[in-house]
Amino acid sequence: MEKPNSGLVEKTFLLIISICLICVVVEAEEFPAMFVIGDSLVDCGNNNFLRSFARSDFMPYGIDFYAGPTGRFSNGKTIIDFLGDLVGLPLLPPFEATITFGRDILKGVNYASAAAGILDESGRNLGDRFSLSQQVENFKSTLSQLKRKMDERKLEEFLGKSLVVMNLGSNDYINNYLIPSLYPNSSRYNSQDYADLLINHYAIHITVLHNLGLRKFLLAAVGPLGCLPNQIATGVAPPGKCVAFINDMVEVFNKKLISLVDQLNANHTKPSTFVYGNTYGVFTDILNRPDDYGFSETDKGCCGIGKNRGQITCLPFAMPCFNRDQYIFWDAYHPTQAFNQIVAQRAYTGGLSDCYPMNVKQMAQV
The one catalytic residue among 81, 299, 334, 354: 334
56 in active site: no
Residue 13, pLDDT > 90, answer: no
259 in active site: no
What pLDDT, on the 0 to 100 scale, is given for residue 236? 80
SS3 145: helix
The one catalytic residue among 39, 64, 172, 331: 331
Identify the sign of the CA torsion 39, 43, 48, 50.
negative
Give whole-number Cα distances, 333 to 102, 206, 244, in Å: 32, 26, 17
Class of domain 32-225+244-284+337-365: alpha beta
* Total-model pTM: 0.92
What pLDDT, on the 0 to 100 scale, is given for residue 239? 82
- pLDDT bucket at 336, cuts 50 / 70 / 90: very high
272 in active site: no
- pLDDT bucket at 26, cuts 50 / 70 / 90: very low
Residue 22, pLDDT > 50, answer: no
The one catalytic residue among 40, 122, 162, 170: 40
What pLDDT, on the 0 to 100 scale, is given for residue 28? 56
User: Omega of the bond prior to 357 within 30 degrees of 0, cis?
Assistant: yes
- pLDDT bucket at 206, cuts 50 / 70 / 90: very high
Residue 178, pLDDT > 50, answer: yes
- If one compares 236 and 106, the residue with the highest pLDDT of the two is 106
Residue 8, pLDDT > 50, answer: no
Q: Which of 10-24, 92-106, 182-196, 209-223 has the lowest mean pLDDT?
A: 10-24
